[in-house]
Chain A
Amino acid sequence: MKANSVVSSKQDTVDILIIGAGASGAVAAWNLSTSGLSILCLEQGGRTDPGDYPSTKQNWEVLKQTVYHVSPNVRKLPSDYPINDSDSPIAIANYNAVGGGTILYSGHFPRFHPSDFKVHSLDGVADDWPIDYSQLEPYFEQNDRMMGVSGLSGDPAYPPIEGLLPPVPLGKMGEKIGEGFNKLGWHWWPSYSAIITRNYKNREKCINLGPCNMGCAQGAKSSVDVTYWPYALNNGVVLKTQCRVREITLDTMGRANGVIYYDQSGMEQKQLARMVIVACNGVGTPRLLLNSTSPLFPDGLANRSGLVGKNLMLHPCGYVEGVFEEHLDSHVGPQGCCILGQEFYETELSRGFLRGYTMHVLRGPGPIETALSGMLRREIPWGQGHHSAFSDRFGHIISMAIITEDLPEPHNCVTLDPELKDAHGIPAPKISYRLSDNTKAMLAHGLNRGKEVMLAAGAKKTFAFGPIRHTGWHLMGTTRMGRDPRFSVVNDWGRSHDVPNLFIVDSSVFVTSGAVNPVSTLQAVALYITDRIKQNLSDILGS
């Protein structure tokens, strides 16, 4: 749909314009909502209806393959934009709606480790962050309170973490695999889960629907549409949905002065603003900046460093499966939250790679996925043997994701596809990504250790492979933060080095990727950045 008119007027100017209503945009909206400034958030997706989530329907497993698929290229909803990820072994996953990726995330919510912010100092690779764990710690705590997080204090893999709701159920399978970890003397711990296990802030507790990663009809999973957004809206933030921003515009002084976007009816609109905050994730954010060209920024807005879109990190994931003799009811419980193992998180040179990975134990699949994967691997046959082979697997499977830390490499990047465009004619992002030798070695190590723990727990059969294609949820590094404008896009509090009233608050600003799901950390970073914005409003906005 092409533009046919531009509407704007001076009185429409807002103090703060936030682009994106996902994990970080919601944080920014809420944290700035007490500043007394006018705030508008533009979101390209709509509001989801929990009554429509797959868990309200008998065919919930089928819906995962269509309208709730993790890939926008498969879903092809009006809110989605296409992504050319054919030059990457890992396909990009996202969700475009109020709540963003948190609508479909599993809610696995570990924090980055203190060492993740000092990668260069500790291990001589990549770069240190300009901020550290201790600076973020109060924001981690604040974020946990806002989101509602369950888990267990006392984890020796982390500095003390308090105030958690009781952990999600281990289930028989959690006990089983925990015993396996214990036999090997390896670390494991109940998952930090953005799932409330007790009634919390007007939300009802988890009742183990299972497919959290297709939206939580109960509202127990802490997606930001049910955590931050109600408070932000109550404080006066205006949220406009189905509004896709095409570009950020500049005034004659080189300051951001608003955006051009397409509204619900496809009409081109101009929105003026005194400050612009980008929260579109590690692919959407560089896409928007690269599409925002001008005589001042011919290579994309805020891109004098040439680093916009570079250093994409995706956390290549491996998959390990163990099949057990006992029926473990492994399909019962929050699908993506059970326990995590971090024995191999910190660097140990003898392993043959730097940095490390998390072993993320998942619940077993539902009946359709059990049958499909079993038949694909020829472990469930056609014919009379089908029933017994299915019975041997359903409820007997423990799954594990190996989440590896990939290091920043400039050739792993987001660029603009020269041909592919979205429904509004805006150039689509193109992903170019390769696994480094370090990541490959780490992944192989993780797959082998994963099988080892399955066997130690008593698995009669194991299976492992990686990288898994449709796991590109963790989109990081493409507008990295740093103090030197030559080697970073934003400063240590998310402010563009090139455009003083332009901020980025999503995981694009990550310097390195850690080896855990990034939402807890990206939200802590967004709280930190927006606190700094509040402290520096007069400098940012001028008189």
Chain B
Amino acid sequence: MMRQTTSDQELELLDSILEHMIPASEDGRMPGAGSVGFWTYVESKGEASWICSGLALLLEAASAEFGLPFSQLSMVGRTEFIAAQRRKQFRFFSRLTHQVIECYYQDARVLRAIGLETRPPFPDGFRALDGDLSLLEPVFIRGKIYRG
């Protein structure tokens, strides 16, 4: 049976992964992926259970490798462990990354920081530069290029 809830240790591991993936920018303009409500997002999408299971496996791997729970690893140890697991658990991390990116680039603070308005495209739409059609002059002057 798929798990629907997550433990404190798993959430701590997830926070660590998120901060490694997309940390807050040094200038403070961009939030980190750990502060955009990722867990709420995946729960609302029904994507939480496989993430719980994956995190549980990672915690087991940390214990097996270091003889310590992940939470007791040093910052350097955590970084090395996550980097190694990204290679070993490629599919899990690939799928997780997809969900994180979806969530992160819908966050209002992120959208504002990259110059976008926090609204759907409709009904206001967007303005686009018409462009300079005189650039076509050499194409036109060259004349017919079709056959038949």
Contacts and interface: CB of A to CB of B under 8 A. Distances in A.
A237 to B, nearest CB: 29
Contacts of B75: none
Nearest to B79: A383
Interface in B96-119: 97-98, 101-102, 104-106, 110-111, 114-116, 118-119
Interface stretch (A166-174, A308-316, A496-504): A166-174
Given A115-B146, A115-B147, A156 B119 contact: no
B98 to A, nearest CB: 6
Contact of B138 (A56, A113, A185): A185
A188 interface: yes
A391 B129 CA distance: 21
Nearest to A371: B101
B146 A383 contact: no
A122 B147 contact: yes
Nearest to A175: B131
B127 A208 contact: yes
A375 B93 CA distance: 12
Interface residues of B, number: 48
Nearest to A117: B148
B114 A390 contact: yes
A386 interface: yes
Given A122-B148, A367-B111, A207 B126 contact: yes
A122 B21 CA distance: 56
Interface in A155-190: 156-159, 167-172, 174-175, 178-179, 181-182, 185, 187-190
Interface stretch (B3-11, B22-30, B59-67): B22-30
B139 A188 contact: yes
Contacts of B135: 175, 178-179, 182
A55 B126 CA distance: 12
Given A372-B98, A384-B23, A332 B128 contact: yes
B106 A114 contact: no
Nearest to B21: A382
Interface string A370-391: 0110010000001110110011
A57 B118 CA distance: 11
A156 B121 contact: no
Contact of B146 (A56, A159, A387): A159
Interface residues of A, number: 69
Contacts of B143: 156
A342 B145 contact: yes
Contacts of A62: 102, 106
Given A371-B101, A375-B101, A387 B30 contact: yes
B20 interface: yes
A208 B125 contact: yes
B114 A56 contact: no
A473 B100 CA distance: 30
A327 to B, nearest CB: 9
A150 to B, nearest CB: 12
A207 B147 contact: no
B125 A156 contact: no
A94 to B, nearest CB: 24
Interface stretch (A209-217, A276-284, A411-419): A209-217
A171 B129 contact: yes
Interface string B44-73: 000000000000000000000000000000
A375 B133 contact: no
Nearest to B30: A387
A209 B105 contact: no
A156 B97 contact: no
Given A171-B131, A189-B139, A368 B105 contact: yes
24 contacts: A57-B120, A59-B102, A60-B120, A61-B102, A113-B146, A118-B148, A156-B142, A157-B145, A157-B146, A170-B130, A171-B129, A175-B131, A179-B135, A181-B139, A207-B125, A209-B126, A210-B126, A217-B122, A217-B123, A218-B125, A342-B145, A368-B102, A375-B97, A386-B22
Given A178-B131, A209-B121, 18 more contacts: A58-B118, A59-B102, A61-B102, A62-B102, A114-B148, A156-B139, A156-B146, A170-B130, A171-B129, A175-B132, A178-B135, A185-B138, A187-B139, A187-B142, A368-B102, A372-B98, A383-B20, A395-B115
Q: Which 3 A-B pairs have the closest CB atoms?
A: A170-B131, A207-B125, A114-B148
Interface of A: 53, 55-62, 113-115, 117-118, 122, 133, 152, 154, 156-159, 167-172, 174-175, 178-179, 181-182, 185, 187-190, 206-211, 217-218, 329, 332-333, 342-343, 345-347, 367-368, 371-372, 375, 382-384, 386-387, 390-391, 394-395
